[in-house]
Structure 1
Amino acid sequence: MGLRIINRRPGRGGALFWGALPFLAVLALYLTFSAMRLADNPNDKLLPALSTIAETVVRLAFTPDQRTGQVLLWVDTAASLARLAWGLAVSAALGLVIGIASGLVPYLRAGLSPFVAVVSLIPPMALLPILFISFGLDELSKVVLIVIGIAPFLIRDLAMRVEAIPPELVIKAQTLGASTWQIITRLVLPTMLPKLIDALRLSLGPAWLFLISAEAIAAQDGLGYRIFLVRRYLAMDVILPYVAWITLLAFLMDWGLRAINRRTSPWLTRGMA
């Protein structure tokens, strides 16, 4: 049994090696095809050299723009993170309040569950024109798109997790004289907060997608705005660093949420990915 590959686990060094291997393979492929294209056409823009990308990063991250006097990468990052933070915060609040209420109170569950289920099936991007017409082209429409995109998922996930709480715990709390509010604040809420953080981690990808899509259509700054602004010029030396930066930001947000769970609820996150 010990010889089977499913029973073998890499050590720390092996895990680092196997984790880095796909990234190194992608980098090697990029360098190879970039060198081939640039050998045929030194002005090729599709796969710019790493030196060209590095020069662009320095210009975007450390050099003020001649027209606005602002450092574009940080201005775009601040704008996108502010929109994303508002969208995630509102979605988390709705998910927590409505999810707990729907999962714990049968009458609310009967009234809210069908509506939330239907809303969750609406493609959020199909609503983008409606949001721009209703809320204008400013920040609110972008935040609302994120909320519509991920709040129904959070609500449904939290409601199902509340329903999965062992009934004997709720019965025991009632036997000890706990009111509905005390059951929520002392039993359900502490149990659901780590679950909410896990659900937020799973929602980061869709949240970034909705944000970038909204910024691409109607914005004056933001990471998505910048990517779609330069696409007409085939400026891959700008697009690729911005995509890598968005990926890094998403990774850091995921890591931060996971660290919060490990610190605040180690008994629930033991063994969590």
Structure 2
Amino acid sequence: MARLINRQPDRLGRWLLALLPFVIVLVLYLLNSEARLAVNPNDKLLPSFPAIFDSIAKMAFEPSRRTGEYLLWADTLSSLRLLLMGVGISALLGLSVGLLNGGIPLIRIPFSPLVTTVSLIPPMAILPILFIVFGLGDLAKVMLIVIGICPILIRDLQLKTLSLPEEQLIKAQTLGATSWQILLRMMLPQVLPRLFEAVRLTLGSAWLFLIAAEAIAATQGLGYRIFLVRRYLDMSVILPYVVWITLLAFAMDWLLKVTARKAFPWYFGRNGEAQG
């Protein structure tokens, strides 16, 4: 008799099991929404699906009377621009500093404690400082993302560099490789795949910092729109925006995973198959 721990569903079974929690959530929402609306047709906490679809249509396909923009797409482009800037800068700094910290002891000894200390500071606690120093514009929001996730990336990539087999380092030096050749030609190719994984793990935090910053000081963006309609308790806009942010984050995570599989098949196993 096969043990439960060894049973694996087929391809169709995987899809059905993956969709099951979402179907359950939708059914529960529908039942609770109908129950609340039956008691109070003006209830705003759990709007009906038609009300949600109407709000999506207005935000996505009808221009704003005030600005003439299609609000959903304008908010999405604004948020994605800031998010990609923050994540991109963080990835570049994380890879550079993490590689140097992990590969060169004279750099790791003074800078590693500093990076560890910065990584333990709650980023939201210094948001007012960022607004004071960088103003209320986009720079402060980008810096919040960088301060929030860059130290984590640095520490992760530093640990990955330090975990490389010492035999490789000895062989490279025996063959006459310089320090920079070891860093760029031996360590960097082996650390790059981990960068993709680390960025995937910090995407949720990056979105959190962006939404929080937009909620406090912004004139457009997904976070700004959510907190703007919050005062009217307009859940027919808030819920679709939350779902849309989740879909965007999922798409970015999927793109990073596919890119990593294609670029580094040797790292993820046979045929480039990654776990998760």
TM-score of the two chains, using structure 2 as the length reference: 0.97
Q: Name the structure 1 match of 2:152.
A: 153
Cα distance in 2 between the residues matched to 1:176 and 1:3? 52
Residue equivalent to 1:104 = 103
Quote the Cα distance in structure 2 between the aligned partners of 1:250 and 1:180.
38
> d(CA) in 2 for partners of 1:185 and 1:160?
17
Shift, 1:185, TM fit: 1.4
Displacement, 1:3?
2.2
1:31 and 2:30 correspond: yes
Which residue does the alignment assign to 1:186?
A: 185
Q: CA deviation at 1:178?
A: 1.2
- After superposition, the C-alpha distances for 1:23-77 in whole angstroms (9 at most, x for unaligned) are 0000000000000000001111110000110111111111111111000000000
> What is the match of residue 213 of structure 2?
214
In the TM superposition, what is the alpha-carbon distance from 1:272 to its structure 2 partner? 2.2
Counterpart check, 1:171 vs 2:170? yes
Structure 2 match to 1:272: 275
**How far apart in 1 are the matches of 2:203 and 2:146?**
12
Say if 2:48 is the partner of 1:49: yes
2:16 maps to amino acid: F
Please give the alpha-carbon distance, in whole angstroms, between the structure 2 residues aligned to 1:79 and 1:130: 23
Q: Which amino acid aligns with 2:263?
A: T
Secondary structure of the corresponding residue to residue 186 of structure 1 = helix
**Structure 1 segment 1-273 matched on structure 2, within 5 A:** 2-270=1-269, 271-273=274-276
C-alpha distance in 2 between matches for 1:160 and 1:177: 25
Deviation per CA, 1:212-239: give whole Å up to 9, x if none. 0000000000000000000010000000
Q: Any unmatched runs of 5+ in structure 2?
A: none
Structure 2 letter corresponding to 1:151: C
Deviation at 1:131, TM superposition (A): 0.3
Cα deviation for residue 175 of structure 1 reads 1.2
> What is the distance in 1 between the residues matched to 2:159 and 2:192?
14
Please give the alpha-carbon distance, in whole angstroms, between the structure 2 residues aligned to 1:65 and 1:176. Answer: 66
- Sequence identity percentage: 58
For 1:198 and 1:173, the matched residues in 2 are separated by 27
Q: Distance in 2 between matches of 1:205 and 1:139?
A: 19
Instruction: Give a deviation string over 1:60-99, Cα, whole Å, max 9, x none.
Output: 1111111110000000000000000010011011101110
Separation (CA, whole Å) in 1 of partners of 2:58 and 2:170: 63
Deviation at 1:184, TM superposition (A): 1.4
Aligned residues: CA RMSD:
0.7
What is the distance in 1 between the residues matched to 2:169 and 2:116? 26
Quote the offset at 1:176 in angstroms: 1.2
Task: Please identify runs of 4+ aligned residues in structure 1 that moved more than 2 A.
Answer: none
Equivalent pairs, count: 272
3-state SS, counterpart of residue 136 of structure 2: coil
Unpaired segments ≥5 residues, structure 1: none
For 1:272, give the aligned amino acid: Q
**2:148 aligned partner, one-letter code:** G
Q: Which amino acid aligns with 2:275?
A: M
